[in-house]
Structure 1
Amino acid sequence: MLSVTPIPALSDNYIWLLRQDSSQGVCVVDPGEATPVIELLERESLTLEAVLITHHHHDHTGGLAELIKRYAPRVIGPKNPQISGIDEEVGDGDEVRVMGRLFDVMATPGHTLDHISFFAPGIPPLLFCGDTLFCAGCGRLFEGTPEQMQQALTRLARLPRDTLVFAAHEYTQANLAFAQVADPDNQDVKATLEECRKVRALERPTLPSTIGRELKINPFLRTETSGVRQAAGTQGPADDNLATFTTLREWKNRF
């Protein structure tokens, strides 16, 4: 059985640790710094066998060099010369087997052009989506276009509803505060915010989310709904979800 454990890092990052119950070997996703990973590995006598990288930003790769030097793990990530240390470059449609699970590689550009996500079908389905899909939000557009990001989110939204969504940041409360304004009549948003406040008061992560929950609370996945369109002030054809998405993303940047 595969378990997933959050390792808090930097100010609000999660480095996800994947482990099979029968093995001391583990995998980590997006190690923005090495120290918290090393401390956990040493404390629990674990061996780092693999690393998954979703994109090149330093808060997702900053610990990679030290981990490679110390443990020489298998490193899997996008083809990008800005990332040093990847020995298995993967892209859309590729498959990789990690910790006994087969992961589909999905291109999810928008936040960055090299961004990929890792999806493992099964029970339960697992999604490691870096900075593309957050609980109640999505990543900023540093390199990609609104159209690219919306297409990436639409693709993720079609995954099974019970898919566990392991995003890379604890942004949930801030995202839900925006969702209350962007989707003001959504009672699921209000209930989720109250739930997450209680969880954070106990110093526990609000993640993982699920695709099913995101479809109910995430305004960036709900651009076709009248409440979100009205809040965004979007005019035009009812199927012009890109205009609504673009407005939402620019609004969130200033929120």
Structure 2
Amino acid sequence: MIHVHQFPCLSDNYGFLVHDTESHETVAIDTPDGRAYLAEAELKGWRITQIWNTHWHPDHAGGNALIQKETGCTILGPAEVEGRFPVDRIVAHGDVVTVGKVRARVIDVSGHTNGHIAFHFAENGIAFVGDSVFALGCGRMFEGEPKQFWASLSRIKALPAETLLYCAHEYTASNAKFALHADPDNVALQDYADEIADKRGRQEPTVPTTLRRELATNPFLRADDPAIMERWGGSAPHETFAALRAAKDNF
């Protein structure tokens, strides 16, 4: 059995520790703040044995060296991390990684960066998606292309609808404002936005979210919906996605 410990760090990141109760192994999913991760692990009585990076950005891999120095842990991640931050094992789409006997599959979710990956624990119904998709949003397209990013989002869309998506940032309130602009007639979205406002008013996290809810409300995951395509143009979903992403960048 695994337990996920989520905690805020930096200005708007979330940190995640995944602990296997049988083997007592603990995985740090990304490392935005190495000292925060070490402190949280100590509070839980866990020892970090692995780091799994989703992509190379410093607010996701910047704590690798400190945590490895303090714990001797093994670090794995996509090839793009190598040469920027410590990494011991390169993984790519379709690879299987384990914490104890619990398996996770690596999924290519490139677009935010060209090597971005996610980790899907199928038996546990959870996925750590980094900056590929957020509650009501998706990552900026810093390195990728629209067709590539849409293919990545399509791989996320294909996961079981009840999958819990652990996104790496608390961007949801801001994302909700754009989503309402992008899809103003979506009643489910309007209800979701009201719930988000209530949660953030109480300083409660909006992460994780369910894929089912995002499929119904997240405009970036709905770029293949006829109503969205008509409103935002594009003869193919990746073209509609590109229009949405450009609009969000300037919103």
What TM-score bracket applies, with the shorter chain setting the length?
over 0.9
Alignment of 1:95 with 2:96, yes or no, is: yes
Q: What is the CA–CA distance in structure 1 between the aligned matches of 2:176 and 2:8, rounded to whole Å?
A: 21
TM-score, normalized by length of structure 1?
0.93
Which residue identity does 1:97 align to in structure 2? Answer: T
Q: What is the CA–CA distance in structure 1 between the aligned matches of 2:100 and 2:111, rounded to whole Å?
A: 28
The count of corresponding residues between Structure 1 and Structure 2 is: 250
Give the superposition deviation at 1:43.
2.3
Map of 1:78 onto structure 2: 78
Map of 1:42 onto structure 2: 42
Structure 1 residues 75-224: aligned runs within 5 Å: 75-80=75-80, 81-122=82-123, 124-224=124-224
Q: What is the CA–CA distance in structure 1 between the aligned matches of 2:96 and 2:202, rounded to whole Å?
A: 37
Report the 3-state secondary structure (helix = DSSP H, G, I; strand = E; otherwise coil) of the residue aligned with 2:79.
Answer: coil
Q: What is the CA–CA distance in structure 1 between the aligned matches of 2:24 and 2:84, rounded to whole Å?
A: 27
CA deviation profile, 1:59-100 (whole Å, cap 9, x unmatched): 101111100100011211011333332111101111111243
Q: Does the Cα contact within 8 Å between 1:126 and 1:165 map onto a contact in 2?
A: yes
Report the 3-state secondary structure (helix = DSSP H, G, I; strand = E; otherwise coil) of the residue aligned with 1:119.
Answer: strand
* Structure 1 stretches lacking a partner, 5+ long: none
Which residue identity does 1:248 align to in structure 2? Answer: L
Which residue identity does 1:15 align to in structure 2? Answer: G
Q: What is the CA–CA distance in structure 2 between the aligned matches of 1:130 and 1:82, rounded to whole Å?
A: 20
Q: What is the CA–CA distance in structure 2 between the aligned matches of 1:190 and 1:99, rounded to whole Å?
A: 41
Q: What is the CA–CA distance in structure 1 between the aligned matches of 2:145 and 2:19, rounded to whole Å?
A: 35
CA pair 99-218 structure 1, distance change in 2 beyond 3 A: farther
Q: Does the Cα contact within 8 Å between 2:78 and 2:116 map onto a contact in 1?
A: yes
Q: What is the CA–CA distance in structure 1 between the aligned matches of 2:43 and 2:4, rounded to whole Å?
A: 17
CA deviation profile, 1:100-154 (whole Å, cap 9, x unmatched): 32111111110001111111111x3111111101111111111110111000001
Give the superposition deviation at 1:210.
1.3
Map of 2:228 onto structure 1: 228
Which residue identity does 2:119 align to in structure 1? Answer: F
Give the superposition deviation at 1:205.
1.2
Which residue identity does 2:220 align to in structure 1? Answer: F
Deviates more, 1:222-231 or 1:95-104: 222-231
CA deviation profile, 1:157-181 (whole Å, cap 9, x unmatched): 0100011101111111111111101
Q: Does the Cα contact within 8 Å between 2:135 and 2:167 map onto a contact in 1?
A: yes
Deviation beyond 3 Å, 4+ runs, structure 1: 21-25
Give the superposition deviation at 1:46.
1.7
Q: Give the root-mean-square deviation of aligned CA atoms.
A: 1.5
CA pair 99-198 structure 1, distance change in 2 beyond 3 A: farther
Q: Does the Cα contact within 8 Å between 1:24 and 1:45 map onto a contact in 2?
A: no
Q: Does the Cα contact within 8 Å between 2:112 and 2:141 map onto a contact in 1?
A: yes
Deviates more, 1:91-100 or 1:68-77: 91-100
Q: Does the Cα contact within 8 Å between 2:24 and 2:100 map onto a contact in 1?
A: no
Map of 2:243 onto structure 1: 247
TM-score, normalized by length of structure 2?
0.95
